[in-house]
Amino acid sequence: MINIILFGPPGSGKGTQAENLIEKFNLKQISTGDLFRYNIKNETELGKAAKSFIDKGELVPDKITIDMLIEEVKKPTDSSGFIFDGFPRTVAQTEVLEKIVKDVLNAPINICLALVVDDEILVQRLLKRGKTSGRTDDSNEEIIRNRIKEYYTKTAEVAELYKQQGKYVEVNGVGEISEISEKLFNEVKKIS
Ligand code: ADP
């Protein structure tokens, strides 16, 4: 089993690269952003609770996010491991993830792969995506900059925890999608 955290700021390409990684290594992707959007679309209680935070570009509170993640990890799967995309985004979420992979999957997080992209490129990418994605949080620059700010104030410190464990690897997230995928594949091959 291989368990990967795909890490990086909003717009760094986690979703795109997760698609390539799941295919290559037969993994199941768990994207908390996608799960929230699914719940918002279907107007569930969870979706209603998350929407106001997402629309402002703020993180959804840990309790809501963590309960949703645990449900997802517990679902049966025949994949060879997981890609966590957009989770963990806080130190508290990291602690829960470490515990749940150990208790439910009886396996560790093997690697935290971080996509590195300059802030101004992130803003441009997200504004461009907003023109077609229909995502409210991609619709204006102020919300986008708030998401990036949330990343630096609450999420970036997650990287330190994996650096301490020697599991943190940075990959340049600017360039051809396929080239970035190759670099990510190589990092996964080194540990599997
Ligand atoms: P992006 O990486 O482009 O910001 P996501 O789809 O991963 O997009 O997340 C969209 C929004 O969903 C975030 O801005 C945040 O409000 C919420 N969200 C997603 N994952 C988490 C999480 N792990 N903790 C708290 N909020 C989250």
Structure confidence by residue, pLDDT tens digits, 143-176: 999 999 999 999 999 999 999 999 999 999 999 9
| pLDDT for res 23 | 98
Q: Which of 14, 32, 135 has the most ligand 1 atoms within 8 A of CB, as the residue to mutate?
A: 32
| pLDDT for res 107 | 96
pLDDT tens per residue across span 23-32: 999 999 999 9
Cβ of 151 less than 6 Å from ligand 1: no
Q: How confident is the model at residue 4 (pLDDT cuts 50, 70, 90)?
A: very high
pLDDT tens per residue across span 83-93: 999 999 999 99
How many distinct structural domains can be found in the chain? 1
- Going by the DSSP 8-state scheme, the letter that residue 80 receives in this structure is S
Note the residue count of the chain.
Answer: 192
Q: Whose CA is nearest to atom 9 of ligand 1?
A: 33
Residue 98 CB partners (closer than 8 Å, separation 6+) = 108, 109
Closest CA to 57 of 116, 123, 121: 123
Confirm whether 179 is domain-assigned: no
Range of the domain at 104: 2-173
10: preceding bond cis by omega (within 30 degrees): no
Q: How much is the pTM?
A: 0.96
Dist CA 6 CA 105 (whole Å)? 18
Instruction: Identify whether the C-beta of residue 50 lies closer than 8 Å to the C-beta of residue 40.
Output: yes
Confirm whether 80 is domain-assigned: yes
Confirm whether 8 is domain-assigned: yes
Q: Give the pLDDT mean for 52-57.
A: 97
Confirm whether 183 is domain-assigned: no
